[in-house]
Structure 1
């Protein structure tokens, strides 16, 4: 991988007794797409929000041995500097656009805010550029739509507005937090194509958070799998899908309906539920649900390098079976 645009090492996030993110490390290079997958509650969004300083300090304890963006230490940046970074160099597409958009402001003004704050546009020029961004993101009749409010847009159109806001600052890194959730398949495909086209044209890094492994196969260069707040596997996308090394990853892939499966074969669900993060995790967090567990799983496995950019946190990849 080329030099990292984003370099995170040993990120931990605690909310009182809840250890929500545990020793998470990853890198993202310019022009690269890192997919982050896992069940709901696995720590995907919490990790990215912590990295950007978006958890209230009075509620969250965020620590890391390294948290660098383009060579700058994010942990030492004061709040004002982080606000300059967010929206300008790092864009964020939130999971729920209706909740993220201001219902009392027209969408054109919300896009213009970013242009005025981060790129120094005057109000008139910012509003004109907001219309251009709406057109670029596929919103029909952008001049009229710029003067409308979020409730006047469909779910897919609101997501396009969120993308326009995230791209208004011309970011070097875009974090897309389940940007296609609750959208129908046709709209989902349009949103994926739009983000990928913009990435290819600008060379920005992209972190795509989702629980949809089928979608991830189409968009990611590398995939990071999270479970119970920790990374359990990471690999180039083709390698991970062809030969998953962690039982949790294999279980997630087995839950996807596939056209190449024999007729009548059903997708299988992973039995059980993730652990409560309000209690310390003892041993392998996935062991209670794992069909391959053995005695050594009572000890937490480290994330072990497997070569060619792959790693997994499972004792079986080390060759130990008992």
Structure 2
């Protein structure tokens, strides 16, 4: 009897797992269908919206209620972190004083699937009264929101993934993707770079990877350097004293000509090794970094080439050194 109960329980678990996987795959299929339809629908209105926001002297004010409001918050955050100053204004709070946050130089982007969200009413009237440009993101052309907007971006009519309740699923996925598309298009229009992006993301792994060589390199006075004619017996001491596992070899003008590592010492450890000079043993024209090179790029190069240190040069002269531990310490991955 106990064995039968266990068997029934096992079969029920298999049914639930199979059913859940089928449901999940169907949800994703519907949302992918929505994204494909959204991609195909983009045209002149999208380009006009990008141009309108790009030309604005003020900020992008993103608004929406309920699930659309959550998407609007994320959209404002993405705009702000990619070079387009933005903020989220709650439509209900706007009616109680937050309309004062919106200036005539701003552009408002309003999200509503139906386009008939009552809480947006005062905000829409405010944009009309003061001639503030309005971009609508909605599923219904001809809705109150659509009629109020200078540009309306209409979401394709694709069924929601939650067929039982019609809860916003496919539509909010399309809204989210459309916001990302606007942000990236604006980023490119502004010529926003990884360096600019790092300025808005100083913390976490992303911020660490976007830090530059000059931010983490050991300074010039700590560099293990030696001249081209330095005997190998002295090179060993330079490497040991430096603590980086390598020595940079420079000419009489201070330009970096080569590098000698612990591995080079071992490979050249022969009976006549002591009679050799740095110029005879060094690896010529080593790969180097610039002060503006991103930490993430430096670590990636080290990993690919199985090296632990790289010199940072300026005008051919070494001005710093980045060790793999320096990257790992600040969280670069």
Q: Which category of TM-score, normalised to the shorter sequence, fits these structures?
A: under 0.3
Which is richer in strand? Answer: 1
Which is richer in helix? Answer: 2
Larger Rg: 2
User: Higher relative contact order at CA 8 Å, sep ≥6: structure 1 or structure 2?
Assistant: 1
How does the TM-score come out when normalised to structure 2?
A: 0.25
How does the TM-score come out when normalised to structure 1?
A: 0.26
